[in-house]
Each structure stands twice: as C-alpha cells, then as structure tokens.
Structure 1
Amino acid sequence: MKRKSFEGNICPVARTLDLIGDWWSLLIIRDALDGVRRFGDFHKSLDIAKNMLSTRLKGLVETGILQLVPASDGSAYKEYVLTEKGRALQTVIVALSQWGGEFLFETDESGSVMVDAQKRKPIRKIQLLSADGRVLAPEDVATRVGGTAERRHA
C-alpha cells in the first residue's frame, strides 16, 4: 500500500512527518545523535533488516538529514553524518524521550535518560516559551495560516 505524501501541505508537522515520520528514521537519527556513523553499527544497534536500513539511510541522505562522508579512520568505508538540518532534530528526539520517560514507564521501571554530556546530569525538561519568556500550556498555543484567523489547539 502506497503511503500518502504530505509534500506541499501547509502544516509543518505534516511535512516533517512526511520526511521522518516512521519510527526507523527517528531511531536512526537518535543513534546518529549518539555518534553512530557506520551502516554496520546502525544495523547492530537497531536490529533492522539490512534492506530496510539501507532504504531509510538513503532517504535521510536524499532529504538532507544525513550526508555520506569518507570514513573518519581513513578506510575505504563511508560514514553517515548528520547535517545541520539533521542535528536540528535533536530537540524533537529529546522531547520524545522526555515524554516517553514520563508517561510510558512504571514508577519502579528504569529507562534511559538524556544527560548533559559534560556535567552528566539529566537535562531540564523541554518547555514551550513565548517570545517574552512565559511558559506556554497547550491552550496558550494557536496556529496561524498566512493572513487567516488563528486556530486553537486545545
């Protein structure tokens, strides 16, 4: 079954999901943010079929999220490195991790926690802030399309 494309959609969320909306792509980006660079290392970490991994990596390269570069050790291999566009997805990965940690684990169940690499302390929970620094709740956010009226999300 062919997946519907959201290319050209006015919603940035729909367009983003069109590029990175499947779980494999997000997990590849997560691993790349953790320093994974080689096909074999992605394969080992994710335990994904090689053909599926190859397809996802190719797509992430084609959309400018990853780039193929010569191996850092000078070998004949190629490595996958996040572009600026790919690195900017770190906030999305952190937000997903924090949401999952809060809502998908039992009280006595431990999971991974993202930490400040230098201080080794958990990072502060991501918050939505207004331009003047106020913390925004879902009912404080609306969507504006061009010059049209705003639509509330709550």
Structure 2
Amino acid sequence: MLRRTYDGQVCSIARSLEVVGERWTLLIVRDAFHGVTRFDGFLNRLPIARNVLSDRLNGLVDHGVMERVPYQDRPPRHEYRLTAKGRRLAPVLLALMEWGDHYLAGEAGPPSVAEHNDCGGRIDVRLVCACCGQDVERADMTVHRSGDHQTG
C-alpha cells in the first residue's frame, strides 16, 4: 500500500490527518466512543480486514490516541481505550456527524443524535471565541499563520 503523507505541509490539519486520516481510523475512534474496547468488538461493528484493524489500532496506540490495556493473561488479550488525547477528538467526530446529518442524511433523517445526559437536549458543535464567549460564524473570523498576528 502506498502511504499518503503530507510532508512539507506546515499545517495542523495535515499533521492531524497523518494520525487519523487513513480509511477506517475515525470509525474505529467513533466505535471506541460508543464503548467498543476489544479487537473482536471492532471487527463485529466494522467490515474491516483483521490486518487493517490491527494496523489502525497500533497506529492509534503509537500516536497516543488509544492505550492498550491487558485484560487476560492466557492467552494475552488487550482492550483499546481512548486516552485524553483520543477523547479530545469528540468535537471532530460530532462536527463530521453534524455535517453529514445536514448534507447526507437522506429521507430517513440522521442515523443517530448526540444528546446531553442531564436534560436530553441535542448537542451542537459551535465555534466560540475563547476571549469573549461569543458564537462566531466563518465570516467573522480570520485564519492566519501563528507568527503573522500581533495582539494588544
């Protein structure tokens, strides 16, 4: 398999895709968010080859997105659990889900919804200013290279 890389890209999106951009990887992370922890559990939920699943899980462990935790000695068996770094992918997954629900859901509507456990309200992914707390639309922001902006 020819590995696609983003060498030479000084971009956090490209660097992130090096970790989670391969086919199946975000679906494995999605299933981990849904409570799947064991190799066979991932196999049962995804139409993925064993060797590909093993490769993706090893990559997620190598990048610190998941950790391998032993649950049986004979034969040795491990669970795969999201780390704090992996759990920080929740907004990414929810944003992709929200986008897919909006543009790709079809007549049946969204296949799943994210709800707040306390009140049952739907979870929305929002862009919020870290300084003033105001919701921000794309037209209200500028993206620039880190060293190109002075505050104050």
Same fold (TM over 0.5): yes
Alignment-derived partner of residue 125 in structure 1: 124
Residues 57-68 of structure 1 aligned to structure 2 (within 5 Å):
57-68=57-68
Alignment-derived partner of residue 33 in structure 1: 33
Residues 106-121 of structure 1 aligned to structure 2 (within 5 Å):
106-119=106-119, 121=120
Structure 1: segments with no counterpart, 5+ residues:
none
TM-score, normalised via structure 1 length:
0.84
Alignment-derived partner of residue 88 in structure 2: 88
Once the two structures are TM-superposed, the CA of residue 123 in structure 1 deviates from its matched residue by 2.8
TM-score, normalised via structure 2 length:
0.85
Aligned counterparts of 1:6 and 1:46: Cα–Cα separation in 2 = 27
Residues 63-78 of structure 1 aligned to structure 2 (within 5 Å):
63-71=63-71, 76-78=76-78
**Cα gap change, 1:35/1:139 in structure 2, threshold over 3 Å: closer, same or farther?**
same
**Cα gap change, 1:108/1:55 in structure 2, threshold over 3 Å: closer, same or farther?**
closer
The alignment-based identity, stated in percent, is: 36
SS at match of 2:147: coil
Aligned counterparts of 2:147 and 2:28: Cα–Cα separation in 1 = 37
Amino acid at match of 2:55: T
**Cα gap change, 1:63/1:7 in structure 2, threshold over 3 Å: closer, same or farther?**
farther
1:2 paired with 2:24, answer no
SS at match of 1:143: coil
Structure 2: segments with no counterpart, 5+ residues:
none
**Cα gap change, 1:140/1:57 in structure 2, threshold over 3 Å: closer, same or farther?**
same
The CA RMSD measured in Å over matched residues stands at: 2.3
Q: Does the 8 A contact of 2:115 with 2:122 survive in 1? A: yes
**Cα gap change, 1:51/1:113 in structure 2, threshold over 3 Å: closer, same or farther?**
same
Paired residues, number:
148
Alignment-derived partner of residue 141 in structure 2: 141
Aligned counterparts of 1:107 and 1:122: Cα–Cα separation in 2 = 23
Alignment-derived partner of residue 45 in structure 1: 45
Alignment-derived partner of residue 18 in structure 2: 18
Once the two structures are TM-superposed, the CA of residue 108 in structure 1 deviates from its matched residue by 4.1
SS at match of 1:93: helix
Aligned counterparts of 2:136 and 2:12: Cα–Cα separation in 1 = 19
